Structure 1
Amino acid sequence: MYIGKTFNFEDIPTKLKDIIKNIDKDNFKKFRWFQEKAYNILDIFLFDYAILSKKEAEIIIAAIIAFVVKAPTSKKEITLLYYVPLIITPYFRNNDLIDIIESPNLKAFIYDGIDDINYAKFLNKALSEETVIKFESGAQLIPYNLKKDDIYNSRRLSNKSSNSLTFLQKDEIIKTYRKFVKGVNPDLEMTFELKNAGFGNVQDIRGYFLYEDSSGDRYTVAIIVEHIKNMGDMWQYTQEYLSSVISTLSDYEEIEESYVEGYLSNYFEEVREIARIIADMHIKLSYIDKEDFAKRNVEISDVEEVLKSIKNNFAKLLNFIKLSTFDEQITSMIEEIVKQQEFLMSKLEEFKDTAVFGKYIRCHGDLHLEQILKTEEGYVIIDFEGEPTKPIEVRRKKISPLKDVAGMVRSFSYAAYAAYFNYLNAKGKLQDEKIEKVLSVWEEAVTETFVENYLELVTSEAPDIIPEGENFDKALAIFKLDKALFEGIYEVNNRPSWFKIPLKGILGCIEDLKLEKHGSEVNYG
């Protein structure tokens, strides 16, 4: 950015509002944490800030930046807030560059300071001494040190989420929530309450930072959690496992089902343990009697909300499909889904019965294989903030635990097809019916194993939180369908080569609703 006025480096804090307003708006779209990449950014401005450190050649700022955006298909403007720690310096660094200030007598670089060592040291000092940080508006950033340990060095962690993870010395991670929204982040309260309830498969919270404005409203800025040594997440592990199996079985001219079961049997024990852990998580959540966590009966309005989501997503998906062209196989799947639309909409009307859904409790909300870390001792579940694109009040709502179960079932389907697509790409093939069949057998078997083991523990410890018999099948099909429709909307717009995965899931759910089988007999596609 070029600023025609003459000013010195030490004047930057007084010029900060003008500087932020003049940043190239689209520069923020390159950052993973900025979620509205498809939106038009109409304006940006400094909402609030605190000067954390001011030195001769470095200024560290905790900034809350407002983005005025509009979706391409909407006329409505919305204002979103993001937390962005800034480093401004005359010197080039390896941090993520946001923009460059240029004036007649000054050149300075604006960096995202999330993994800057001096920013980390400042947070360390504030947390260890529990020093309140005053913001320009009168608001304050309040640190809560639960372990009273110092935090020192910092480096960025590989991260696939919309938040920012920074590895801190002494085996701790600071997780910064970039989207700045009012309320307690469910990641903080869920992890904290589960740990207190004796659930051992979560990270330990060491501290957190809350921003409190002049009216007393609070925003979760960051949490500090233990860094658990791990061998990667279960998605990565599953891909490596399936790749190895495919490599072996692809040499066979004919593949008997017994071969598949033999090669994949080791993975089933992993799935059994994960199912038991997730069941234990839901059981312990159902025992918490605090108002925000206590299990409750399902109201008819809850049922209507789930069914409305399905109907809306179905309509959205059909609208997006009309804008694209597909190959013969995908077209055939779409035609079958359209053919079943009348049946599906009619069938949904039969589900306006609260008994179908069991009890509502607090759940993970966005559970899939990437949210489960594999360690030497077992497994750890992470990222309890729910679906990050949804409002925080929605993410904190109670829901059927089958939403989490459905998330895992759909994740197994994605894992199977991701491995299949990787194999096709490596071999330069368009399809391989033999390998696709192998992975279809795996998906069905591993999902059945997961659901059976989940059911076994939940029905013995907290049977009231899930529906019984046929109602279990119906509810699981409903939540799988809602998830698959959401996936379909994403894939058709962002990754059409993977569109087959949710389409297969949607068709499988429709078959479930037609058959109304029980327990492990359900088609788990």
Structure 2
Amino acid sequence: MYIDENLKFEDIPSKLESIVKSMDDETLKKFRWFQEKAYTILEKYLFDYAILLQYEAKIIIAAIIAFVVKDPNTKKESTSLYYLPLIITKYLTNNDLISIIEGLNFKAFVYDGVDDIEYVKLLNKILREEGRIPFKSDAKLIAVRLKQEDIYKSRRLSNKSSNSLTFLQKDEIIKTYRKLVKGINPDLEMTLELRRMGFENVQDIRGYFLYQDKEGKKHTVAIVVEYIKNMGDMWQYTQDYLASLISRLSGCEDIDEGYVKSYCSDYIEEVKNIAGIIADMHIKLSQIDEEDFGKRDANTSDIQDLLKSIRSNFYRLLSFMKSGNFEEPIDSMIKEIVLQQDFLTAKLQEFENSSVFGKYMRCHGDLHLEQILKTENGYVIIDFEGEPTKPIEIRKKKISPLKDVAGMVRSFSYAACAAYFNYLQQSGTLENERIERLLSFWAEVVTQNFIESYVNLVRKEAPDIIPEDESFDAALALFKLDKALFEGLYEVNNRPLWFKIPLKGILECIKDLKF
């Protein structure tokens, strides 16, 4: 709470720096947009701001707040900038309350204003006019309008009137990038390039907003995209599908891979379609003839980076596994992984000077079932921004398309295990082994069909972007292993009950590398 008995409501902007400093750290950490929740906030201050609107009972401010934080493990300090639209009003609405201001004969409430209708209307107006809003530091908020039309959809409302009634829809989403980093966000860049190449399984972008500092450096603040009516993402759809599958097949005696393949033909067709869309995405990305996008051969440093990531995460995970107390079957899986340490070390050494990785190019980089929306007309791939905590230059690095393939394969494995855990919570123990075997067969069948469909299309249109047949499985196993090790570190620290999922994946990758 900020208290100044002499402060008038209209003078709040002049005290904004002190108001920001008085905001409670723990309250700010509760917001989902704040990414350094495990860090200690050493200091926060108002980095820059612009007053978008001010009248008697409400002030709308586009604020950029700097957080100086300390990593509890490394003890290193760093500074992060967050874009935070602030709504300061005399009215209590109980939504996203950040702080309270008490002044001369008034009490005001400070909210995160990203969903405030007046703030959204202001952004829409700024975009429509392609405005340039000055900030206190001489920086600017620049609106770039890509679509001139204000209406995305129209349909006849009624045929019962002599007058023609047409319903106009303006379905849009404003996606705000809270953590401010220099450069054009890959989400914006990738979506625009894919659209330009004729790839329609992404959202259409109406426009975007840039924060340009006084030195001319640009930061992506937000994009305005078409809202695509959907049935949810493929993760939730898959969970619902598997719950239904368990219900229908839980009493069957002889369940094998062939039976599952026949029974799940509808879902397998969907997976083949998704594989084709991902293949088409990679093919079109490989055809972009620009420096930041053009495909190139995988070089020694690319391979070294992948192997370094695998080794580092493997040894970190080993230390967790050896020092922890785990029950069966996790304990047996850990012992098996420890036994395979020498084999894995030698195998990774073989790849040091390998040239079996195909091409490196711009890819999604964080592809999984939650990044694919299911619609009545097909599928839409979303969220091309990569890992938000990493610098733009890292997120824009070229990588093998097998990273995306590995992400999808690991997501199928997670979906099967998650469905099994959900089943255990809702049932007894009589059929546990049978259900686990059913879901394991499902993951194998789905993965096989996904990979085959993807490879068949890529081999026809852009065969050079993935390794040759004899090298494909080994290269894919490395990318899956890298992903599974990262998952293992996350699960052992955050969701120990799910630790079995990445451990199973690690063992499967080691098995693949033996052939």
Give the TM-score, by structure 1 length.
0.92
Q: Secondary structure at the match of 2:283?
A: helix
Q: Secondary structure at the match of 2:109?
A: strand
Seq. identity, % = 69
CA distance in 1, matches of 2:206, 2:292: 22
The 5-angstrom pairing of residues 40-51 of structure 1 reads 40-51=40-51
Q: 2:474 — aligned with what?
A: 474
2:477, 2:513 within 8 Å by CA — same for their partners in 1?
Answer: yes
Question: What are the ranges of 5 or more consecutive residues in structure 1 without an aligned counterpart?
Answer: 153-167, 516-525
For residues 33-52 of structure 1, give each alpha carbon's deviation from its aligned partner in whole angstroms, at most 9, with x where no partner exists. Answer: 11111111111111111111
Q: Secondary structure at the match of 2:195?
A: helix
Q: 1:159 — aligned with what?
A: none
Q: 1:67 — aligned with what?
A: 67
Of the structure 1 ranges 259-268 and 174-183, higher mean CA displacement relative to structure 2 is found in 259-268
CA distance in 2, matches of 1:93, 1:151: 31
Q: Closer, same or farther in 2 for the Cα pair 1:48/1:323, shift >3 Å?
A: farther
Q: Closer, same or farther in 2 for the Cα pair 1:188/1:56, shift >3 Å?
A: same
Q: Secondary structure at the match of 1:398?
A: coil
Instruction: Give 1:199 deviation, angstroms.
Output: 0.7
Q: 1:505 — aligned with what?
A: 505
1:401 has 2:401 as partner: yes
2:8, 2:103 within 8 Å by CA — same for their partners in 1?
Answer: no
Q: 2:162 — aligned with what?
A: none
The 5-angstrom pairing of residues 414-425 of structure 1 reads 414-425=414-425
Instruction: Give 1:151 deviation, angstroms.
Output: 8.6
CA distance in 1, matches of 2:424, 2:408: 24
1:124, 1:151 within 8 Å by CA — same for their partners in 2?
Answer: no
1:113 has 2:113 as partner: yes
Q: CA RMSD, aligned part only?
A: 1.7
Q: 2:332 — aligned with what?
A: 332
Q: 2:155 — aligned with what?
A: none
Q: 1:302 — aligned with what?
A: 302
1:355, 1:471 within 8 Å by CA — same for their partners in 2?
Answer: no
Instruction: Give 1:236 deviation, angstroms.
Output: 1.1
1:176, 1:223 within 8 Å by CA — same for their partners in 2?
Answer: yes
CA distance in 1, matches of 2:28, 2:437: 43
1:485 has 2:485 as partner: yes
Q: Closer, same or farther in 2 for the Cα pair 1:252/1:389, shift >3 Å?
A: same
Q: Secondary structure at the match of 1:278?
A: helix
CA distance in 1, matches of 2:419, 2:227: 29
Instruction: Give 1:324 deviation, angstroms.
Output: 3.6
The 5-angstrom pairing of residues 125-144 of structure 1 reads 125-144=125-144
1:171 has 2:187 as partner: no
Instruction: Give 1:6 deviation, angstroms.
Output: 2.7
Q: 2:23 — aligned with what?
A: 23
2:201, 2:380 within 8 Å by CA — same for their partners in 1?
Answer: yes
Instruction: Give 1:147 deviation, angstroms.
Output: 1.1
1:424, 1:431 within 8 Å by CA — same for their partners in 2?
Answer: no
2:9, 2:103 within 8 Å by CA — same for their partners in 1?
Answer: no
Instruction: Give 1:318 deviation, angstroms.
Output: 2.2
The residue type equivalent to 1:412 in the other structure is F
The count of aligned residue pairs is 500
The residue type equivalent to 2:308 in the other structure is K
1:182 has 2:172 as partner: no
Instruction: Give 1:315 deviation, angstroms.
Output: 1.9
CA distance in 2, matches of 1:196, 1:256: 45
Q: 1:495 — aligned with what?
A: 495
Q: 2:245 — aligned with what?
A: 245
1:139, 1:214 within 8 Å by CA — same for their partners in 2?
Answer: yes
Of the structure 1 ranges 482-491 and 382-391, higher mean CA displacement relative to structure 2 is found in 382-391
The 5-angstrom pairing of residues 185-204 of structure 1 reads 185-204=185-204
Q: Closer, same or farther in 2 for the Cα pair 1:40/1:322, shift >3 Å?
A: farther
CA distance in 2, matches of 1:308, 1:384: 25
1:124, 1:150 within 8 Å by CA — same for their partners in 2?
Answer: no
Q: Secondary structure at the match of 1:357?
A: coil
CA distance in 2, matches of 1:228, 1:175: 14
The 5-angstrom pairing of residues 118-517 of structure 1 reads 118-150=118-150, 170-322=170-322, 324-429=324-429, 432-515=432-515
CA distance in 1, matches of 2:432, 2:307: 37
The residue type equivalent to 2:480 in the other structure is K
1:424, 1:430 within 8 Å by CA — same for their partners in 2?
Answer: no
For residues 144-189 of structure 1, give each alpha carbon's deviation from its aligned partner in whole angstroms, at most 9, with x where no partner exists. Answer: 111124499xxxxxxxxxxxxxxx9601111100110001100001
Q: 2:160 — aligned with what?
A: none
1:91, 1:108 within 8 Å by CA — same for their partners in 2?
Answer: yes
1:95, 1:116 within 8 Å by CA — same for their partners in 2?
Answer: no
The residue type equivalent to 1:143 in the other structure is A
Instruction: Give 1:94 deviation, angstroms.
Output: 4.1
Q: Closer, same or farther in 2 for the Cα pair 1:104/1:317, shift >3 Å?
A: farther
Instruction: Give 1:103 deviation, angstroms.
Output: 4.7
CA distance in 2, matches of 1:322, 1:51: 55
Q: Closer, same or farther in 2 for the Cα pair 1:26/1:324, shift >3 Å?
A: farther
The residue type equivalent to 1:90 in the other structure is K
Q: Secondary structure at the match of 2:482?
A: helix
The residue type equivalent to 1:369 in the other structure is L
For residues 114-137 of structure 1, give each alpha carbon's deviation from its aligned partner in whole angstroms, at most 9, with x where no partner exists. Answer: 100000011011000111011111
The residue type equivalent to 2:393 in the other structure is E
Instruction: Give 1:320 deviation, angstroms.
Output: 3.1
CA distance in 2, matches of 1:430, 1:490: 31
Instruction: Give 1:104 deviation, angstroms.
Output: 6.7
Q: Closer, same or farther in 2 for the Cα pair 1:141/1:431, shift >3 Å?
A: farther
CA distance in 2, matches of 1:94, 1:150: 32
CA distance in 2, matches of 1:437, 1:446: 14
Q: 1:101 — aligned with what?
A: 101
CA distance in 2, matches of 1:289, 1:127: 30
Instruction: Give 1:105 deviation, angstroms.
Output: 4.2
Q: Closer, same or farther in 2 for the Cα pair 1:320/1:60, shift >3 Å?
A: farther
2:298, 2:357 within 8 Å by CA — same for their partners in 1?
Answer: yes
Q: Closer, same or farther in 2 for the Cα pair 1:431/1:213, shift >3 Å?
A: farther
2:295, 2:361 within 8 Å by CA — same for their partners in 1?
Answer: yes
1:84 has 2:105 as partner: no
The residue type equivalent to 1:276 in the other structure is G
Instruction: Give 1:258 deviation, angstroms.
Output: 4.2
Instruction: Give 1:4 deviation, angstroms.
Output: 4.7
